[in-house]
């Protein structure tokens, strides 16, 4: 047969991406996907080649969160695929749409367990962590597989999908017309989903009756790009709002109706809470006392039906997409004259906010040497605020907890952090994914231990000349540093000069031992829009074990006796 009218799996995969406007691939090259990546570059796709598959996967996951299109991570077989699985699982847990595509070994050999190169049952390995795990066995099925993976990743509760492509499928030829017929552009993969009228009326009645209401915004509302609907709901009903970490900025933290600075009071005393793209999981004490009151009634908007009653009775469940459902709630409430939070309730929040603002201001006045978390973060905050539009990536323990309350966000989807799992290692992957997908400058505020999980990607950042500035909060340890002259403890780290690391790759390194030089370095580096790394020296004694979640450490009863 002449090859004129033939194509193959390599080309069919690129065609399938292009058919559905997928233009970026985050990957680590190797057998059997290297030539797919080369072909993708030839066909003018953007391929970002990483040093470790976990980081490529995190970049793909955050690309999905930021764009509502599934991010694509490609890896080699077996160990490469397993490295990518951390990110696939984290994407599914965080409800970020991504597709992990891994090459795999020869089916004829591996199905008989005859010991092929990188032999592994990858499809089954992915099942527990993905919404869907499928294998392609013929090049003419690649179009269907990618279309199906796309829809599953973004429809309903977004998450991770695994697609397995054996090397021989990539190499197999197929008639061009047959392959072309197998390609299609999917229609409306994440359709609007409205709750029924009875559910809406029930929720509207409950919200309209509330004297001490609050809306709790989760990263689902940020992912849904529902900032306009949130603004209309919050402002037309004068209701206080509380943003979870990655929901910060859906409405500006400076908004007068933000209750963030009075979190415990607002949660503990609200009579009706509207959960909007947020789960009552460990981050919210599973909705239990003493933080929450047993008397609180819940309205819950979520696209996932079985999320309702996960931890508390939901008095008015609203199963639907946030944008459509919030708009319908606002319209219905306007028709009833809107919500009527009591002046007493609003004043009680205002008073606590003012008191806590004063406390925070006092904490931020101090300027010790060496820097502590608060003084360093005040400097970073001021450098960050001088560069509007910058995306903030944040991980660590103390570095995460202090930054969440000190660095305010004014725009949605600009704070990307450890999320639902509290996972370390998302830093450089998220920073790269955010810079590639948005073109914005990125400031990654990293604990020195957290940075270590993905730090080799500094070379990737320099290689692609990305506008990523990494600030390492160097307290020489996980949570804190070791006492001078002692042997290394399980949580100790060297007081290393990480700034020399980026210089080794050709990037710009800064070493900051005081807050003034730290603020100057952050501002200068962000304005330069070049890869930079700032080594910020933090007092090794300043940290708290596990930051705000010390209580999650198991305590032996013996140790108490
Ligand atoms: N478009 C959407 N409409 C409705 N719910 C959504 C949408 N996208 C995601 N979700 C839901 O948002 C929730 C996000 O919860 P979570 O990740 O716990 O947020 P947070 O950690 O900020 O509280 C998930 O339960 C998910 O099903
Ligand atoms: C994949 C994974 N492995 C380990 C851990 C456990 C952990 C939680 S926080 C943290 C690092 C804290 O040290 P860091 O220096 O980053 O921050 P700071 O408090 O400012 O000193 C670890 C190792 C998690 N969450 N995920
Ligand atoms: Mg540290």
pLDDT-derived band at 189, boundaries 50, 70, 90 = very high
Beta-carbon neighbour count of residue 7 at 10 Å? Answer: 20
For the CA of 284, the closest atom of ligand 1 is 23
Specify the pLDDT at position 543. 87
Does residue 32 surpass a pLDDT of 80?
Answer: yes
Q: What does pTM read for this prediction?
A: 0.98
Does residue 2 surpass a pLDDT of 80?
Answer: no
d(CA 466, CA 486): 39
Does residue 324 surpass a pLDDT of 70?
Answer: yes
Give the number of residues written for the chain.
561
Mean pLDDT on 371-398: 98
Does residue 480 surpass a pLDDT of 80?
Answer: yes
How are beta strands 415-417 and 468-474 bridged, if at all?
unpaired
Closest CA to ligand 2's atom 5 = 424
Specify the pLDDT at position 548. 84
Does residue 561 surpass a pLDDT of 80?
Answer: no
Q: What distance in angstroms lies between residue 303's CA and the mean position of ligand 1's atoms?
A: 8
Does residue 559 surpass a pLDDT of 80?
Answer: no
d(CA 144, CA 513): 56
Specify the pLDDT at position 1. 56
Sign of the alpha-carbon dihedral angle for 32, 38, 42, 43: positive
Specify the pLDDT at position 82. 98
Q: What distance in angstroms lies between residue 440's CA and the mean position of ligand 3's atoms?
A: 27
Specify the pLDDT at position 221. 98
Q: What are the tens digits of pLDDT across the range 98-149?
A: 999 999 999 999 999 999 998 999 999 999 999 999 999 999 999 999 999 9
pLDDT-derived band at 546, boundaries 50, 70, 90 = confident
∠ at Cα 420 (100, 70), nearest 5°? 30
Q: Of the residues 158, 247, 303, 426, which should be mutated to test ligand 1's pocket, given the most ligand atoms within 8 Å of the CB? A: 303
Mean pLDDT on 24-37: 98
315 lines ligand 1 (CB under 6 A): no
Specify the pLDDT at position 4. 82
Mean pLDDT on 182-202: 97
Specify the pLDDT at position 550. 84
User: Which ligand has the shortest distance to the CA of 449?
Assistant: 2
Q: What are phi and psi of 414, to 5 degrees?
A: -110, -5
Q: What are the tens digits of pLDDT across the range 403-417?
A: 999 999 999 999 999
- Mean pLDDT, the chain, as a whole number? 97
Does residue 329 surpass a pLDDT of 70?
Answer: yes
- Give rounded-to-5 percent helix, strand, coil for the chain: 45, 15, 35
Q: Which of 96, 90, 164, 83 is nearest to 124 (CA)?
A: 164
Contact in structure between 200 and 329 (CB atoms under 8 Å): yes
d(CA 561, CA 558): 5
pLDDT-derived band at 545, boundaries 50, 70, 90 = confident
Q: Of the residues 93, 372, 478, 535, which should be mutated to test ligand 2's pocket, given the most ligand atoms within 8 Å of the CB? A: 478
Beta bridge partners of 416: 393
Mean pLDDT on 61-76: 98
Q: Of the residues 397, 492, 539, which should be mutated to test ligand 2's pocket, given the most ligand atoms within 8 Å of the CB? A: 397
pLDDT-derived band at 400, boundaries 50, 70, 90 = very high
Region of 108 please: left (phi>0), alpha (psi -120 to 50) or beta. Answer: alpha
Does residue 397 surpass a pLDDT of 70?
Answer: yes
């Amino acid at each position: 047969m002449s090859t004129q009218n033939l194509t193959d799996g390599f080309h069919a995969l690129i065609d399938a991406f292009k058919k559905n406007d997928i233009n970026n691939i985050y990957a680590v090259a190797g057998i059997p996907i290297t030539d797919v990546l080369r072909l993708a570059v030839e066909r003018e796709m953007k391929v970002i080649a990483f040093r470790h598959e976990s980081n490529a996967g995190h970049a793909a996951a955050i690309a999905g969160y930021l764009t509502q299109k599934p991010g694509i991570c490609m890896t080699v077989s077996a160990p490469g695929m397993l490295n990518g699985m951390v990110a696939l699982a984290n994407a599914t847990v965080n409800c970020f749409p991504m597709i992990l595509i891994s090459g795999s070994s020869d089916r004829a050999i591996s199905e008989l367990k005859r010991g092929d190169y990188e032999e592994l049952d990858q499809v089954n390995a992915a099942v527990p962590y993905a919404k869907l795990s499928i294998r392609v066995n013929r090049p003419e099925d690649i179009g269907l597989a990618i279309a199906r993976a796309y829809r599953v990743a973004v429809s309903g509760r977004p998450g991770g999908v695994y697609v397995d492509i054996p090397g021989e499928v990539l190499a197999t030829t197929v008639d061009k017309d047959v392959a072309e017929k197998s390609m299609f552009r999917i229609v409306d993969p994440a359709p609007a989903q409205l709750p029924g009228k009875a559910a809406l009326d029930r929720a509207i009645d409950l919200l309209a009756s509330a004297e001490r209401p609050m809306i709790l915004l989760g990263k689902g509302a940020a992912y849904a790009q529902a900032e306009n609907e949130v603004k209309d709901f919050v402002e037309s009903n004068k209701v206080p709002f509380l943003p979870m970490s990655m929901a910060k900025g859906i409405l500006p933290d400076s908004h007068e109706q933000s209750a963030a600075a009075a979190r415990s009071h607002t949660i503990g005393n609200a009579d009706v809470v509207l959960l909007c793209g947020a789960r009552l999981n460990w981050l919210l004490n599973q909705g239990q006392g003493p933080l929450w009151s047993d008397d609180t009634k819940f309205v819950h908007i979520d696209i996932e039906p079985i999320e309702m009653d996960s931890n508390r009775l939901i008095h008015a469940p609203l199963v639907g997409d946030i944008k459509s459902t919030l708009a319908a709630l606002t319209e219905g409430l306007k028709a009833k004259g809107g919500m009527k939070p009591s002046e007493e309730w609003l004043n009680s929040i205002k008073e606590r906010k003012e008191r806590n603002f004063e406390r925070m201001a006092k904490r931020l006045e101090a300027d010790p040497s060496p820097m502590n978390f608060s003084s360093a973060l005040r400097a970073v905050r001021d450098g960050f605020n001088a560069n509007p539009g910058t995306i903030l990536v944040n991980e660590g323990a103390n570095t995460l907890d202090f930054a969440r309350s000190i660095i305010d966000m004014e725009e949605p989807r600009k704070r990307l952090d450890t999320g639902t799992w509290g996972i370390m290692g998302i830093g450089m992957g998220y920073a790269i994914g955010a810079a590639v997908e948005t073109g914005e400058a990125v400031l990654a505020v990293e604990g020195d231990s957290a940075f270590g999980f993905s730090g080799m990607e500094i070379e990737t950042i320099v290689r692609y000349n990305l506008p990523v500035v990494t600030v390492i909060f160097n307290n020489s340890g996980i949570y804190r540093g070791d006492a001078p002259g002692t042997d290394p403890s399980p949580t100790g780290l060297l007081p290393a000069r990480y700034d020399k690391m980026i210089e080794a790759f050709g990037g710009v390194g800064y070493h900051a031992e005081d807050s003034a030089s730290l603020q100057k370095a952050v501002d200068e580096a962000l304005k330069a829009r070049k890869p930079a790394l700032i080594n910020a020296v933090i007092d090794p004694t300043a940290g708290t074990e596990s930051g705000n979640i010390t209580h999650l450490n198991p305590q032996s009863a013996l140790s108490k006796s």
